[in-house]
């Protein structure tokens, strides 16, 4: 079952598709795919994964409302684990851990706009998606629905619009941040960080979420 929502963002007419359980067989992504997720909270122990958002940066955004009784979503899992498709995230560390835990997939390769932001926007400590999008792209995104019931059987139009907004600008952010990374000579260290993110997520799930294993003490 698929539900559709039309919205206008950044002067573009967008169609948001809400799918139950999994991506349809005929959904394909070309190039980089922006990915995000919604959960019942931020605990890797307590809170379940509820929704996954995907966008190829064009006119359609796909949301998958997962069946939490089984997490049987082979088409979604195929995209997340496809080594030929770069997945764009903001704070990939959390999403990757959730996908690893509930979907049993290692998501790679990845690009994280939050990591990139911290490597080049060293003049600020404001690296949230809203602040980053506002400064780098001059666009405002709403965080009003961030703390809402993502486990509900039926999601509101406001929730769908919010979920879509989280993947709407990741392609543009990557383009801008790539320029800054090159300018500052930090492309290679950024790539090393991105490559390490699946291992960082595995460490979080294994109990080292709050421990810096590279610290002296």
* Residue 57: inside a domain: yes
* Residue 215: inside a domain: no
* Residue 213: inside a domain: no
Look up the CATH number of the domain holding residue 27: 3.30.420.10
Domain count, the chain: 1
What is the residue range of 21's domain? 2-208
**pLDDT tens-digit profile of 173-204?**
999 999 999 999 999 999 999 999 999 999 99
* Residue 216: inside a domain: no
* Residue 24: inside a domain: yes
| DSSP per-residue codes, the chain | -EEEEEEEETTEEEEEEEEESS--TT----S-EEEEEEESSS-TTTPPEEEEEEE-SSSEEEEEE--TTT---HHHHHHHH-TTSPEEESSHHHHHHHIIIII-----SEEEHHHHHHHH-TT-S--SHHHHHHHHH------TTSSS-TT-SS--HHHHHHHHHHHHSHHHHHHHHHHHHHHTT-HHHHHHHHHHHHHHHHHIIIIISS--TTS--
* Residue 123: inside a domain: yes
**pLDDT tens-digit profile of 47-105?**
999 999 999 999 899 999 999 999 999 999 999 999 999 999 999 999 999 999 999 99
* Residue 173: inside a domain: yes
Q: Name the pTM for this structure.
A: 0.95
């Amino acid at each position: 079952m698929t539900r559709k929502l039309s919205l206008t963002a950044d002067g573009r007419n967008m169609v948001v598709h809400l799918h139950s359980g999994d991506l349809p067989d005929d959904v394909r992504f070309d190039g980089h795919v922006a990915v995000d997720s919604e959960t019942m909270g931020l605990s890797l122990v307590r809170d379940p994964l509820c929704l996954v958002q995907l966008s190829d940066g064009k006119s359609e955004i796909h949301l998958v409302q997962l069946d939490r009784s089984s997490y049987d979503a082979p088409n979604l899992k195929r995209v997340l684990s496809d080594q030929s498709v770069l997945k764009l995230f903001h704070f990939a560390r959390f999403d990757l851990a959730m996908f690893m835990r509930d979907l049993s997939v290692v998501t790679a390769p990845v690009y994280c706009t939050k990591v990139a932001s911290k490597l080049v926007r060293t003049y600020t400590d404001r690296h949230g998606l809203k602040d980053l999008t506002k400064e780098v792209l001059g666009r405002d995104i709403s965080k009003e629905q961030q703390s809402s019931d993502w486990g509900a059987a039926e999601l509101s139009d406001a929730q769908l619009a919010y979920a879509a907004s989280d993947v709407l600008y990741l392609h543009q952010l990557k383009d801008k941040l790539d320029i800054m990374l090159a300018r500052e000579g930090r492309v290679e260290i950024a790539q090393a960080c991105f490559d390490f993110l699946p291992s960082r997520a595995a460490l979080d799930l294994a109990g080292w979420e709050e421990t810096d294993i590279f610290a002296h003490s």
